[in-house]
Amino acid sequence: MTFKSVDPATGEIIWEGAEHKASECLAAVSRARNAFPGWAATPLDERVEVARRYAAILKEKSEEVAHMISRETGKLLWESRAEAGAMVGKVEISITAQAERAGSREQSMPFGRAMLRHRPHGVMAVLGPYNFPGHLPNGHIVPALLAGNCVVFKPSEETPGTGELMTQAWQAAGLPDGVLELVQGGRETGAALLDADIDGLLFTGSASAGSHFRRLFADRPAVILALELGGNNPLIAWDGEPEALASLIAHSSFITTGQRCSCARRLIVPEGKAGDAIIEAAVELARRLPVGAWNEPDDAFMGPLISARTADQARAAVSGLQTAGAKMLLPETPLEGRNAAFMSPVILETTGIDTPDEEIFAPVLQIRRVTDFDAAIGEANATRFGLSAGLLSQDAELWKRFSLRARAGIVNWNRPTTGAASSMPFGGLGDSGNHRPSAYYAADYCAYPMASFEAPDMEPLTIPGIAKE
């Protein structure tokens, strides 16, 4: 079977190729398994040099990479260029993280020494998402290869071209055959890969897929799972100048057309005039956010969603909220000359009604009013997810209370919920992950610790009850 990726802004076919069958996935894992002993035994400094050559090639081809990301995802070019740059930067950050979190340590002992080393797991399967088709799988692959693992990588079926470019860059950097294998396809290809003899699954994607993987590997505890999933993320906007608050709300909720797992999905504001002013400013700014295609000359803040099908799913979720009693504050605006993949920001008020605790992966924001700050924290934590959360307030005491009680892995103050540093861990609690955060902490799940007692000379030990001769 063949499949293709399509520019959601234009419908142009970007990439077309064959879908890998189950037998081909097994063969890819087998090649990686055969390559593993040699790559694991390769000195770390040589693995580092390959990774640095890969970064240099990515930097040289950054414009090509950025254009491929934009064409496959519809993401605006300024965002895709930032993603390509983050892919380059990830290499040095991963090298530092590997040394800090998965390096070696020696301690002198009376008989010799105690040693700590870290060893690779083996063959890791990496399943990539479509929203950051370069940066997010890159954040698994780079530390996995530095640790000495081999990788079989399946990009999202929406973004195969980006995955192919990444793999070609590793090959050009001199990565040995079999160390990084690429398989292309959809759900069946992914299922075949996970049925194979892998040692780990490194996944970024939806919470529903993460739940499926937990069940799938329940009887395979030897397979390490690193799951970075979505969230129904809260943002408390409590006090401050309304226009400044609105800009932070827009960046939290509508950046990348709402297709970041850390986007704010729920805005929590105080009852009364202060909350009214925040809502009014947020709605007015969202109404004016420019929407455009990646290759148009005018500046824009949002592009299309990954597909018309995804946009229609978001529209259905909005309709469900309205049926449940949500009040529409900013309806979707028809975008002249745009196809169905384009979607303008939508804002609803859901105060006092039951709403599904689900992630709507689109530019859709739900607002709730609360009586006091304790109620705001309770509302923020009223979710099965725990990826990101934020507080917008000038009051440092409120930040202290919120940072102590917020149930999320990324908790920001007066910055967008989507703000995250590659030099920090990234991940969440509950249905947002499995307590193995990625980014800087990816080194933790890419290697296991090996502790040793070592003595250069063999000396007899005293056996209690037996006299020495």
Residue from 24, 25, 158, 261 carrying the catalytic annotation:
261
What span, in angstroms and rounded, lies between the C-alpha atoms of 345 and 61? 33
What span, in angstroms and rounded, lies between the C-alpha atoms of 339 and 300? 16
Q: Beta strands of 219-309 (E only): which ranges?
A: 224-228, 233-237, 264-270
Q: Which residue has the tokens 């103050």?
A: 413
Q: Which of 146, 206, 210, 156 is nearest to 183 (CA)?
A: 156
Q: Residue 407 belongs to what domain range? A: 233-413
pLDDT band at 392 (very low <50, low <70, confident <90, very high): very high
Cβ contacts of 169 within 8 Å, gap of 6 or more = 54, 57, 58, 61
Q: Which amino acid is at 369?
A: R
Q: Which of 242, 284, 275, 285 is nearest to 379 (CA)?
A: 275
What span, in angstroms and rounded, lies between the C-alpha atoms of 317 and 350? 13
Can you tell me the mean pLDDT for 61-81? 97
Residue from 72, 79, 157, 228 carrying the catalytic annotation:
228
pTM of the model: 0.95
250-265 pLDDT per residue, tens: 999 999 999 999 999 9
465 in a structural domain: no
User: Cα 241–245–246 angle (5° rounding)?
Assistant: 120
Residue 261 annotated in active site: yes
Same domain, 216 and 67: yes
- Please determine, for residue 59, whether its predicted confidence score (pLDDT) is greater than 80: yes
Computed over every residue of the chain, the mean pLDDT equals 96
337-346 pLDDT per residue, tens: 999 999 999 9
Same domain, 168 and 278: no
Same domain, 23 and 125: yes
Domain containing 406 — which CATH number?
A: 3.40.309.10
Residue 271 CA: distances (Å) to CA of 205, 231, 236, 366:
35, 25, 12, 15
Backbone angles phi, psi at 52, to 5 degrees: -70, -35
What span, in angstroms and rounded, lies between the C-alpha atoms of 120 and 125? 13
pLDDT at 469: 64
Same domain, 273 and 242: yes
Same domain, 92 and 74: yes
Four-CA torsion 233, 239, 243, 244, nearest 10 degrees: -70
pLDDT band at 20 (very low <50, low <70, confident <90, very high): very high
463 in a structural domain: no
- Please determine, for residue 467, whether its predicted confidence score (pLDDT) is greater than 80: no
